[in-house]
Amino acid sequence: MNKKITVVTILCLMLIAVVIFWRGPEERISGLNSSQKSSLSKMVSIYTEEGQAAKAQDNIDVYLSKIGDGDLGVYETYVGVAQQYKLLGEGIKAFEYYQKAVENNPDRSLAYLGVANLFLQTGLIEDADIYYQKAVEKEPQYIQNHLTYTDFLVRTFPTEKTKITNAFESAINHTGSDINALKAYASWLGDEKEYDKAIVLWKKVLEQNPENKESVQYEIDRLEKKKTL
């Protein structure tokens, strides 16, 4: 009887461990599929002069040998190494070190941005979209995360107006109506001929930044004229 209880207990503990382990990828970066590996393997080094690539590799080795020491933390070291591998054209290794960074601290956004940029550079647009969103979700208080994502959407999915609108609204809501978010949103609305909405936002910009009244008022007047055309 005791043996049966012991076996059941062990099996339960093993099941719990498996559940915990597999919940991890939600907070980490999942592995590459064959299509992603193929795209990342085709990256090309930016280093063209003799000795540059070797020096970059030496720098990577030095960083890794001192990981966690000095001013640079483990997370920052992994991100830095990933960026160096990206410059070397070694996309898969870059991905692996971004992955290590996320495993070290799943609540920071920089590694997710790195993966998004990596995928964007190699034409994996849908994958890039996922990781830009991840970066925003992890640290929504940072305006740069939002602006990077909205810029990506405007350039890559210009017809996805609802998605772009939601991304701008999220930026404004999460950053306390940051002036840069207001400007970017207003500019996009103006381009989309949503003049009334754009003017409302430019007026909010003016309230926050009255010292630049001349340039902001010029934009408001310009949009008012467009409404009459």
Residue type, 26: E
Residue type, 50: E
pLDDT at 22 over 50: no
Please state the domain extents for the chain.
Answer: 34-139, 146-229
- pLDDT the model gives residue 62: 86
Instruction: Work out the angle between the directed axes of helices 52-65 and 74-87 (0-180°, nearest 10).
Output: 170
CB 180 within 8 A of CB 147: yes
| Tens digit of each residue's pLDDT (9 = 90 or more) over 160-170 | 999 999 999 99
| Tens digit of each residue's pLDDT (9 = 90 or more) over 81-119 | 999 999 999 999 999 999 999 999 999 999 999 999 999
- pLDDT the model gives residue 29: 64
For the domain spanning 34-139, the CATH number is 1.25.40.10
- pLDDT the model gives residue 27: 46
- pLDDT the model gives residue 67: 81
Does the domain at residues 146-229 carry the CATH identifier 3.40.50?
A: no
| Tens digit of each residue's pLDDT (9 = 90 or more) over 57-88 | 998 998 888 787 766 789 999 999 999 999 99
Residue 28 Cα distances to 18, 50, 118, 167, angstroms: 16, 37, 16, 23
Phi-psi region of 68 (alpha: psi -120 to 50; beta: other; left: phi over 0): left
Phi-psi region of 48 (alpha: psi -120 to 50; beta: other; left: phi over 0): alpha
Give this prediction's pTM: 0.83
| Tens digit of each residue's pLDDT (9 = 90 or more) over 206-219 | 999 999 999 999 99
pLDDT at 8 over 70: no
